[in-house]
Structure 1
Amino acid sequence: MPTQPPRLTIRYCVRCNWLLRAAWMAQELLSTFGAALGEVALIPDDSGGRFEIMLDDSLLWERTRDGGFPGPKDLKQRVRDRIDPERSLGHTDR
C-alpha cells in the first residue's frame, strides 16, 4: 500500500508581517521537492512572533528554539533528511 506524501506547514505571525517570508520558503521547498511533498500549507497565526515549520506532526524549525529563521540550505536539508535521506541536493549539500 503506497504511503501518502508528507504535509508541510508553515505557521507564521501575521502581526509581524512574515507572510512573504513564509511564501518564499514554501516556494523554495516546492521547487526542490515537488510531488515528494503532498501539500505545503501556509497558516496565519496571530499569537505574536510565531514562525514554525512542521512536516506532518514533526517540528522541523521553530524561530525562537532554533535561533531565528532558517536559510534555504538548512531548511532543504532538514526536509530532505526526513523524506528522502539518500537524495542529493546538488550544490546545496556543499
Structure 2
Amino acid sequence: MKPTITIEYCPKCGWLLRAAWMAQELLTTFVEDVHAVTLVPSEVAGRYTVKLDDHLLWDRKREGHFPEPKEMKQRVRDQIAPERDLGHNDR
C-alpha cells in the first residue's frame, strides 16, 4: 500500500493555508507515489509537523523554521523513491 503523508498544523496560528499549500505541492509531485496527504488541525499550539506514515519527516520546532517545498519534496523522495530525480528541486 502507498504511504500517507500527514501534515499537522496549528489552526490557532493561522497555518491552514501553509499546510494546504504544502499538501498541494506534495500531491503534485508524488501523485503516483502516495495514497493521500491529510491535514490535521493540532490541539498543541505552534505545532507544524509532517509525517510519512509513522516516520517524522519535519518538526518546525526541532528544525527552527517551516519547510520549503524543495526540502520537503527531497525528504519525501528520500523515503519513498530514493532513485528518483526531482529535476530542479535537486539543484
Amino acid corresponding to residue 54 of structure 2 in structure 1: D
Alignment of 1:60 onto 2:57: yes
CA deviation map 1:40-86 (0-9, x unaligned): 10001132100000000000000000111000111000000000000
Aligned-pair identity in percent equals: 59
Task: Pick the structure with greater CA Rg.
Answer: 1
Quote the RMSD (CA, aligned, Å): 0.6
CA distance in 1, matches of 2:90, 2:15: 27
CA distance in 2, matches of 1:64, 1:87: 29
CA distance in 2, matches of 1:68, 1:15: 18
Q: TM-score, normalised by structure 1?
A: 0.94
Q: Is the 8 A contact 1:13 1:49 kept in 2?
A: yes
Find the counterpart in structure 1 of residue 11 from structure 2.
14
- Paired residues in the alignment total 91
Unaligned runs of 5+ in 1: none
Find the counterpart in structure 2 of residue 33 from structure 1.
30
CA distance in 1, matches of 2:8, 2:69: 17
Find the counterpart in structure 1 of residue 67 from structure 2.
70
Q: Is the 8 A contact 1:73 1:92 kept in 2?
A: yes
Find the counterpart in structure 2 of residue 48 from structure 1.
45
Amino acid corresponding to residue 8 of structure 1 in structure 2: I
Runs of 4+ in structure 1 deviating by more than 6 angstroms, as ranges, are none
